[in-house]
Amino acid sequence: MEKNTKLILITLFCLLSVSSADIWSYCDGVDPKSLTFTISALTLAPNPPVIGQDATVKVTGNLLQQVTGGASTFVVQHYVLGHWITLPAFTNSVCQSYTCPIQPGSITHQLSIPIPSFTPHYINISFYSLLQGLYRGQLLIVDQSNRNITCLEFQTNLN
């Protein structure tokens, strides 16, 4: 698989997975009050995502402090034959996604993401569940001083 395809797939899983209010939460051990960005709404359409179709992710929240730099790290795990397999992590500069500096205040971001048709999906057979479409992971975004902007965990099935 090409390097770009892997990065797109990893980003896709993270973004789609954290987008549904049913499957995301703030990271364990992180006090949401300590975060620079508080999320008021995460939506995903369609929900759940459909393999082979585009999904639209929209996040709305409040940024408490100016951001002049930083990084986002996506870590995704895929459940295969009874084990969680960690996919390659993807790190990106905050200022590649947004124009820096980012001023405090209300922020809304929307993104349309194609879900590749070759994405492993969840299969439920009456007496046995093959969890090949089960994913979990974490999205951590830090600012120029390495303070947490936000940290989310997710777990989802892709069908």
pLDDT digits over 29-82, tens only? 989 889 999 888 888 788 777 778 887 878 899 999 999 999 999 888 888 777
With 70 as the cut, is the pLDDT of residue 18 above it?
Answer: no
Q: How confident is residue 7, by pLDDT bands cut at 50, 70 and 90?
A: very low
Of the chain, the percentage scoring pLDDT greater than 90 comes to 28
Surface-to-core class of residue 27, CB atoms within 10 Å of its CB (0-12 exposed, 13-18 middle, 19+ buried): middle
Token couple for 146: 């390495």
H or E element in which residue 97 lies: helix 94-97
Structural domains present in the chain: 3-157 (2.70.220.10)
